[in-house]
């Protein structure tokens, strides 16, 4: 295989870039692209987009991998790592003790936290965890937002496949609040003004979380490759550039 490509390059029918691309190993990336601005599908181009997507494309490039995305449910990502059908999950995934029992996380790459979305008319009523005791809370299945909601006394929890479904439920008065990652609420409000009409984000962060990319336990090769690229990207300004692109200043 390699000889064939080398011959093609020598004969001048293949560029060196095409040659290295042809030899690049696949990096199978699992994601749940309904979590803008971290990962989403661009409906016009049908392309994966977002901060996490740019991050993993760059990390892969620096390690000579070709990214192959796999679109799956959020709660299917860790099982897919365990069976080896993906190499890494890129999904705004919070590093938690429970998940660390099953997978190894690369170094933390983004500081996050849960926040609240409510309907404008109840903005002065539901403003923190305490005020939601005994109320109905919409969350995304299998997330740290769902875990947080479970700690609220007497809360009735409605779990949806996506945050967008949870926001819709809130809008239709099926629930009193949505708990999800703060930047995801912020991005939804700004990028979907029609869908977000009548909803407001509370200026509160409920907890402190860090996102990390998990790999299969014991996959130190990939873990080290990703960590080295993350470190270099922080040092050479690439991380800051991508952060600015997706989160502004
Ligand atoms: N940060 C939260 C968690 O780790 C939510 C992540 C949801 N990500 C997604 N791509 N749907 O549980």
Q: Minimal CA–CA distance to 191: which of 14, 63, 36?
A: 36
Does 188 sit in the ligand 1 pocket, CB within 6 Å?
no
* Spatial distance between the Cα atoms of 175 and 179, rounded to a whole number of angstroms: 11
* Spatial distance between the Cα atoms of 84 and 28, rounded to a whole number of angstroms: 9
Does 32 sit in the ligand 1 pocket, CB within 6 Å?
yes
Does 91 sit in the ligand 1 pocket, CB within 6 Å?
yes
- Neighbouring C-beta atoms of residue 173, cutoff 10 Å: 11
Mean pLDDT in order along the chain per 10 residues (249 residues): 59 62 86 97 96 98 97 96 98 98 98 98 97 98 97 98 96 98 95 94 97 98 98 98 93
Ligand 1 centroid to 12 CA: how many Å? 47
Ligand 1 centroid to 207 CA: how many Å? 14
Q: What is the pLDDT of residue 14?
A: 63
Q: What is the pLDDT of residue 91?
A: 98
Q: Minimal CA–CA distance to 222: which of 89, 23, 74?
A: 89
Q: What is the pLDDT of residue 7?
A: 64
Atom of ligand 1 nearest to the CA of 91: 10
Place of tokens 């494309």: 57
Sign of CA dihedral 232, 212, 188, 34: positive
Helix (H) or strand (E) holding 26: strand 25-31
By most ligand atoms within 8 Å of CB, the mutation choice from 143, 148, 208, 213 for ligand 1 is 143
pLDDT, tens digit, 9 for 90 and up, residues 47-105: 999 999 999 999 999 999 999 999 999 999 999 999 999 999 999 999 999 999 999 99
State the pairing for strand pair 47-49/199-201.
unpaired
Q: What is the pLDDT of residue 136?
A: 98
pTM of the model: 0.91
Q: What is the pLDDT of residue 231?
A: 98
For ligand 1, atom 5: residue with the closest CA: 143
- Neighbouring C-beta atoms of residue 123, cutoff 10 Å: 13
Contacts of residue 209, Cβ cutoff 8 Å, sequence gap at least 6: 94, 95, 111, 112, 113, 114, 144, 181
92: helix, strand or coil:
coil
* Spatial distance between the Cα atoms of 138 and 169, rounded to a whole number of angstroms: 7
């Amino acid at each position: 295989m390699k000889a064939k490509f080398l011959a093609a390059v020598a004969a001048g029918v293949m560029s060196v870039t095409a040659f290295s691309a042809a030899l690049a190993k696949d990096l199978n990336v699992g994601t749940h692209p309904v979590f803008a601005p971290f990962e989403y599908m661009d409906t016009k181009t049908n392309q994966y987009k977002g901060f996490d997507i740019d991050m993993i494309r760059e990390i892969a490039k620096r390690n000579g991998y070709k990214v192959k995305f796999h679109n799956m449910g959020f709660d299917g990502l860790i099982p897919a790592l365990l069976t080896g059908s993906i190499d890494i999950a890129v999904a705004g995934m919070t590093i938690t003790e429970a998940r660390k029992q099953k997978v190894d996380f690369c170094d933390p790459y983004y500081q996050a936290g849960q926040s609240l979305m409510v309907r404008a008319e109840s903005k002065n009523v539901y403003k923190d965890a305490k005020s939601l005791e005994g109320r109905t809370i919409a969350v995304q299945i299998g997330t740290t937002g769902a875990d947080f909601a479970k700690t609220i006394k007497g809360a009735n929890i409605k779990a949806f496949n996506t945050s967008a479904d949870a926001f819709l439920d809130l809008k239709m008065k099926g629930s009193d609040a949505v708990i999800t990652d703060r930047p995801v609420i912020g991005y939804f409000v700004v990028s979907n003004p029609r869908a977000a009409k009548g909803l407001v984000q509370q200026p509160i962060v409920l907890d402190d979380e860090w996102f990390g990319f998990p790999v299969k336990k014991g996959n130190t090769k990939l873990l080290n490759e990703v960590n080295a690229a993350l470190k270099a990207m922080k040092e050479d300004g690439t991380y800051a550039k991508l952060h600015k692109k997706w989160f502004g200043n």
